[in-house]
Structure 1
Amino acid sequence: MSQSLWPEGKKSAAMFTFDLDGDIIWQNMSSDEPNTEKLIRARSIGQYGPNRCVDMILDLLDKYHVKATFFVPGYVAEHNPDVIRRIDAAGHEIGNHGYTHERFVEKTVEEQLEILKKTQKVIKDITGKEPKGFRTPSGDWHVRTPYLLNDLGFLYSSSMRGDDIPYYTVLDGKETNLVEIPSKWELDDYVAQAYSVYPAEPAGLDRISCYRNVQDNDIREFRGYYDMGLCIAFLMHPQISGAPGRNLVLEEVLKEVTSHDDVWVATGSEVAEYWRKAHPRKED
């Protein structure tokens, strides 16, 4: 792009986001199993995120002077209030990620509204701040979800995949104030690095991607976005990218991004607020 889209003539933008899902996904996956409450090992995988990995990520972000956005389910926030306070105290943003990491596409409009409001209240009660951003759990949403986000006054969503720069969500043929900051599957650490138990041993593919390849992919994606003046939104999970070896991968990505003085590294709210100001809707 010939003209910069970003503040102070910065060449491109970067956004580091972390979905702090805790153990709620493991609870959901095993909800139909007998003796679910006894599946301690599975749930400990998720608990590893808030219990250990968040602090390692916070240290790394502080080292590179990066402010990030953490999308948190209300249930996880309720059960880990001290972790949420530490994230907030470090100057990072906290966004709404459903209550129990529900699949919004399967919920009624009334159920979605209740979920959104409940998590807004939970996070505000802990931090004193109501989330401005939303990321849909499980990668999709109901056709009415953006209407609810717009009606509730959310500043932005980071849920869809429709561009390489922010854009205004179109509802009923008109652009709304709801900014979408897209990410991509190839920037999602869970897709590449969450250990998979399928297919059954010994047949099948590797159960986790090579760290070197993931690091190379992330850095190459960033360089592509940088060269074209776009906005990259890394989508990570503390229980994945906060683990010791993968934390080193995250550090190499942070090192690469922050080595460029002309990259604007910002939170979701900062990106969306700037976009509204500098690139107003056509109707405005």
Structure 2
Amino acid sequence: MSKQVFILTLVGFCVPYLLRGQEEFMWPEGKQFAVSISFDDSRPTVLKYGIPLLNRYGVGATFYVHPHMIEASLDEWKAALSSGHEIGNHTSLHPCTENFWWIRQEPYKPLEEYTLKSMEDELLSTNRQIEQLLGVTPISFAYPCGQTQIGRGEGKKSYASVVAKLFTTGRGWLDEAPVDPLYCDLAEITGISMDDIDFEAILPMINEARQRGLWLVLAGHDTQPEHTSQTTRLKFLEDLCEYVSAHGEIWMAPVGEVATYVEKVRTDGRLLHNKPLAVIGDTQGCINLKAALGRAYGPQIEYITDRKAFGNWTDKDTVVWSVRVPTPTTYQIEVEWSVADHEVGKDMKLIVDGEEQVILLGKSDGNGKFRNAVVGTITIRAGEHNLMIMPTNADNRSLTIRAIRLVPQKG
């Protein structure tokens, strides 16, 4: 029975990291920066005016929808998908602060009445409804009103953690700067309003994105010839599309497509040489090292976007996470992994500050499903560390690792 040994270690990792400000993000095909167009609320005007205009230019946009709003025009929304547009999740009840008078009316529900659990339930339900109606499961989310806080007073908290769990991105509204692909939290990317303005008003933001290699995410609502409130003017859209057509250095694509590319590049140490962003604990002190927050080094390993996991390991591949621990802590180690049914489990060797142990990653749940289990404990001293995992056996073709979670041990 063959065994594959992995090493998980907290040590200084000998990669010549660039200092902050020295690194440059690599956009595809020599592009200098990215632009995405997005619309909220599944308003009928985008079907009548916006999508036909975008289709003429071959521009794909992201539409954040409410399931009950798209049922009456399913054929048109399905046609939009077929034309290369993306469908995102915008909740079912459009929750915003109850400070807005209209949110206190049926069928709305104020953010102050939500818990993290009820918000997660609504987002999952909305995803299921969209999948049933359109046959796609959204990877992109837009915060209604751009607001991310639920609850009241001392009980108020962000639900960005829920969005990070369920989606690749969460987009804001009425923000002030483009997205920095190297440093952004994809659960809270900025959304710049394109409603009620002429194209010339957005040019300074486009130029900033060009100069710094950023990602400009534009957000609107209605789109039509009339200059009504919360409306992206058709002239604005046409001028923007003409501008992009004349400037080959711009990559214009839906939010989910750009975000997936950003996520893949940020996990690839062959492309980036800045230090991985440090991961800190949540309110319970748990440190969730998702694959998307790690950095892979080596000849073959890759981040598999549709599984949100690292795969294609060889004995020359490694993955590194940066972790920040406030006080010396003993953690339970949870690993989420998948391995082919016909293969035996994988041994892993854990080393932290001289502490060694060998634990077994057994078979996963079969049929490519992931298994999550506690595989051991580890004590980490206070400070910032690099956490590295690497195989010592070359035959790891079927193994994928989605996350390592460090949970403070009680008692």
| TM-score after normalising by structure 1 | 0.69
Aligned to 2:333: none
Contact 1:73 1:97 in 2 (8 A): yes
Q: What does residue 261 of structure 1 align with? A: 248
1:131 match: 138
CA shift for structure 1 position 188 = 3.7
- Alignment partners' CA distance in 2, 1:3 and 1:147: 28
Question: Matched residues in 2 for 1:54 and 1:60: separation?
Answer: 10
Residues 1:113 and 2:120 are matched in the alignment = yes
C-alpha change, 1:56 and 1:98, in structure 2 (3 Å) is same
Distance, in Å, in 2 between the alignment partners of 1:84 and 1:113 is: 25
Q: Cα deviation per residue 1:27-48 (whole Å; 9 max; x = unaligned)? A: xxxxxxxxxxxxxxxxxxxxxx
Which one has a bigger Cα radius of gyration? 2
> Which has the bigger relative contact order, CA under 8 A and spacing at least 6?
1
Query: Which one of 224, 240, 251 corresponds to residue 242 of structure 1?
Result: 224
> Partners of 1:163 and 1:251 in 2: how far apart?
21
Does 2:212 align with 1:165?
A: no
Q: Are 2:160 and 2:187, in contact at CA under 8 Å, matched by a contact in 1?
A: no
Q: Mark the runs of 5 or more structure 2 residues left unpaired by the alignment.
A: 1-21, 97-109, 150-156, 228-232, 268-275, 278-293, 296-411
Q: What is residue 15 of structure 1 aligned with on the other side? A: 36
d(CA) in 1 for partners of 2:48, 2:23: 40
SS in 2 for 1:232: strand
Distance 1:53 1:268, change over 3 A: closer
Distance 1:219 1:168, change over 3 A: closer
SS at match of 2:162: helix
Instruction: Give the conservation status (yes or no) of the 8 Å contact 1:74–1:118.
Output: no
Deviating 4+ runs (over 4 angstroms)? 160-163
Check 1:80–1:114 CA distance in 2 against 1; reply closer, same or farther (3 A cut). farther
Contact 1:54 1:242 in 2 (8 A): no
Q: Residue 257 of structure 2 aligns with which residue?
A: 270
Q: Is the 8 A contact 1:155 1:269 kept in 2?
A: yes
SS at match of 2:251: strand
In terms of fraction of residues, the more strand-rich structure is 2
How many positions carry a matched residue from both structures?
221
- Which of 41, 51, 61 aligns to 1:68? It is 61
Q: TM-score, normalised by structure 2?
A: 0.49
Structure 1 residues 147, 55: CA separation in 2 closer, same or farther (over 3 Å shift)?
A: same
Q: Does 1:147 align with 2:161?
A: yes
Cα displacement (A) at 1:257: 2.3
Q: 1:180 to 1:138 in 2, by over 3 A?
A: closer
Change (3 A) 1:145 1:230: same
CA distance in 1, matches of 2:217, 2:165: 25
Q: Partners of 1:224 and 1:263 in 2: how far apart?
A: 13
User: Against the structure 1 CA distance between its residues 82 and 100, is the aligned structure 2 distance closer, same or farther, given a 3 Å change threshold?
Assistant: farther
Please give the alpha-carbon distance, in whole angstroms, between the structure 1 residues aligned to 2:23 and 2:216. Answer: 18
The structure that is helix-richer by fraction is 1
The alpha-carbon distance between structure 1 residues 220 and 248, as it changes in their structure 2 partners (threshold 3 A), is same
Q: Which residue of structure 2 aligns with residue 228 of structure 1? A: 212
Equivalent positions of 1:69-218 (< 5 A) are 69-103=62-96, 105-106=111-112, 107-142=114-149, 143-152=157-166, 154-159=167-172, 161=175, 164-166=179-181, 167-169=183-185, 178-184=186-192, 187-189=193-195, 193=196, 214-218=198-202
